[in-house]
Homo-oligomer: A and B are copies of this chain.
Amino acid sequence: MSEPALGVVAVGNALVDVLAQTDDAFIEQQAEAHGMEKGAMTLIEETRAIELYNQIPAGIESSGGSAGNTMAGFASFGGSGGFIGKVADDDLGKIFQHDLRSLGIQFDTQPLVMGAKTGRCLILITPDAQRTMNTFLGASVELNAEDVDEDLIANAKITYLEGYLFDREQAKQAFIRAAELAHNAGHRVALTLSDPFCVDRHRSDFLRLVESHVDLLFANEEEIKSLYMQDNFDDAISAVSEHVEIAAITRGEKGAVIITKGEQIKIDAAPVDQVIDTTGAGDQFAAGFLYGFTEGKDPETCGKLGALAAAEVISHMGPRPEAIYKELISKAA
């Protein structure tokens, strides 16, 4: 078998972010009226997306989506990759396509021609740099098993699955197909849990996926505790260590823990002058880790690359790199 040409192919939601700054009072008022959750992601339907958009301040649009952000970071490290996800044939869809392709990411999933518009995430940033996300998935959830490009998957060392996609049944089928294709080709499958509430909604499916199909698991502290329904972090990581080759668990300013072969490796958070916007921290940690992994680095170096990328992305607005991550590599060595 020849060496795959790509490092990572991601399967994820194709979303454009709308970033706007609000105060806590606005979040509280919306939380009361609509169940918005500060610091977390709430799924919304199209009518609510329009209503909420009409109430928020002027925004900045930029391509987002958890796995899309990770692939932008992965490309910034110098990795070559692909993306599988569904946009509509509209302005926002063209923006999402352009922004990934301009980074050299292969992205050829057919846009949805009739039906939902391109998905978007209304991200409200409060003065404490927390982001509160309201996602209208739109065309994203029309991704189905036929969109999973067999050749692309066979050509990548790692197939990386975004947990957020689990919110629709046919996307779950696409996940299973992608995982099976990757393993049949002798490659690895990675999963990011994405969100504790998403894990809550789909716990048994996530557990089945992790146990049967996942080699590398990315999660934060809340997500891994939610997956195993453990209040205690150590109990949660002892549970996960039985099921996956490597688990990389991020802990915000406490850094991260890598669990592999019964071992725990602590990774310190990289220093940041000023935290501006925490959007994309987990996505960029995954980018750095995946880049290190596909380059054959040891888990500790992978974790350090993740921490450096996460530190860069929280030092500015927006979930994708401003710096060139390739230049961070020497720092991690």
Task: Show the binding face of A for B, using Cβ within 8 Å.
Answer: 53-54, 56-63, 72, 90-92, 95, 98-100, 102-103, 117-118, 318, 320
Min CB distance A197 to B, Å, is 27
CB A159 to nearest CB in B, in angstroms, measures 23
Number of copies: 2
Determine the chain B residues whose CB is within 8 A of the CB of A53 once the complex forms. 98
Q: Chain B residue with minimal CB distance to A58? A: B99
Residue of B nearest to A56 (CB): B102
Could you name 18 residue pairs across A and B whose Cβ atoms are closer than 8 Å?
A54-B98, A56-B102, A57-B103, A58-B72, A58-B100, A58-B102, A58-B320, A59-B95, A59-B98, A59-B99, A60-B61, A60-B318, A61-B61, A61-B62, A61-B95, A90-B91, A91-B117, A91-B118
A315 to B185, CA, bound (A): 50
Tell me if A63 and B72 are in contact (CB < 8 A).
no
**A57 touches which of B56, B90, B92, B102 (Cβ 8 Å):** B102
Give Cα A62 to B62, complex, Å: 9
Task: Determine the residue in chain B with the shortest Cβ distance to A120.
Answer: B91
Listed from nearest, the 4 A-B pairs whose CB atoms lie closest are: A91-B91, A58-B99, A61-B61, A60-B62
Residues of chain B contacted by A118 (CB below 8 angstroms): 91
Report the separation of the CA atoms of residues A53 and B94 in the bound assembly, to the nearest whole angstrom.
10
Task: Indicate if the CB atoms of B90 and A58 lie closer than 8 Å.
Answer: no
CA distance A281 to B99 in the complex (A): 27
* A228 nearest CB across to chain B (Å): 37
Chain B residues lying within 8 Å of A103, measured Cβ to Cβ, are: 57-58
Q: Which residues of B contact A100 (CB under 8 A)?
A: 58
Q: Which of B59, B98, B117 contacts A58 (CB 8 A)?
A: B98
Inter-chain contacts of A58 with B (CB < 8 A) = 63, 72, 98-100, 102-103, 320
Contacts of A60 in B (CB 8 A): 60-62, 318
Measured CB to CB, the closest approach of chain B to A285, in angstroms, equals: 20
A41 to chain B, nearest CB (A): 21
Determine the residue in chain B with the shortest Cβ distance to A59.
B99
CA distance A90 to B88 in the complex (A): 13
Q: Which residue of B lies closest to A54 (CB)?
A: B98
Contacts of A91 in B (CB 8 A): 90-92, 117-118
Distance in angstroms between the alpha carbons of A62 and B61 in the assembled complex: 6
- Nearest-CB distance from A188 to chain B (Å)? 27
- The residue of chain B having its C-beta at the shortest distance from the C-beta of A96 within the complex is B58
Taking CB atoms, residues of chain B closer than 8 Å to A56 are 102
